[in-house]
Amino acid sequence: MYPDNFYSSTFTLLAEAEVGTHFYWNIAGFLVHGQVLAVSWVVISILLIFSILGTQNTQRIPNGWQNFMEATVDYIVTIAKDQLGESFYKEWVPFIGTLFLFIFGCNWIGAIVPWKLIKLPEGELAAPTNDINTTVALALLTSFAYFYAGLSKKGLGYFKRYIQPIPLLLPINILEDFTKPLSLSFRLFGNVLADELTITVLTSLVPLVIPLPIMLLGIFAGSVQALIFSTLAAAYITEALE
């Protein structure tokens, strides 16, 4: 049995853990979440640096950064090919690869970098995928992508799918297109947020003992979430193209 003060301190920490607190930048009249934008650009910068290092002085027999980047691209191509097939995967590799690498980078930078050591006047730095606005934006991009895929191949005939196999299924088929981005965004957001809240609470209760394995588990879970999101995006595009 744990002492009473253990439970009270745990609930106090949970109550003090704030979700969705931000500092804002006013850019051209729009309020932008400053910490989300800042960390997102850190991730983008890291991806750009890796890309530049991997494409300088390319050789027929790859080594070093070139070998690493070619292995990464091969992995992304495999994801796209497995879902989209030989006929369609090439044109969708850039989109699927961008989703995978950005989400992967966001999840890892949130799990590895101790952002909480950087004090802000309001809010705190964290993984961009810890913010529901980021995950919703990624899910909506995926929705636009599979609508574009269906319309580009079938034209307005794409919308016949809503009344197949029978017209009575029209409301259900429309609802399905609304639930896809919702499930994509909340799955990614919920997993990343739960991981960060768990690490925050455990670090406050038992510093440097329990949190380390949890952090390693968070890194693994972040990688899996990037894979799941990009795989589902490719599957939805495949469904639109069928």
pLDDT tens figures, 95-121: 999 999 999 998 888 777 766 666 767
Q: Which residues neighbour 129 within 8 Å (Cβ) at sequence distance 6 or greater? A: 103, 106, 107, 110, 135, 188, 189, 192, 225
Euclidean distance between CA atoms 97 and 111, whole angstroms: 21
Alpha helix segments (H runs only) across 155-169: none
8 Å CB contact between 230 and 79: yes
pTM score > 0.85 for this model? Answer: no
Cβ-based neighbour number of residue 113 at 10 Å: 15
pLDDT tens figures, 175-184: 887 788 888 8
pLDDT tens figures, 11-60: 344 334 444 566 777 777 777 777 888 888 999 999 999 888 888 877 77
Radius of gyration of the chain measured on its C-alpha atoms: 21
Q: What is the pLDDT of residue 123?
A: 67
pLDDT tens figures, 49-69: 988 888 887 777 777 778 888
Asked if omega into 165 is within 30° of 0 (cis), the reply is yes
Q: What is the pLDDT of residue 189?
A: 87
Euclidean distance between CA atoms 35 and 205, whole angstroms: 26
8 Å CB contact between 219 and 111: yes
CA separation (Å) from 24 to 33, 38, 120?
5, 11, 12
pLDDT tens figures, 214-234: 777 778 888 888 899 999 998
User: Look-up: residue for tokens 């802000």?
Assistant: 120
| Closest to 186 in 3D by CA, of 222, 134, 135 | 135
Phi/psi for 226 (5° steps) reads -65, -40
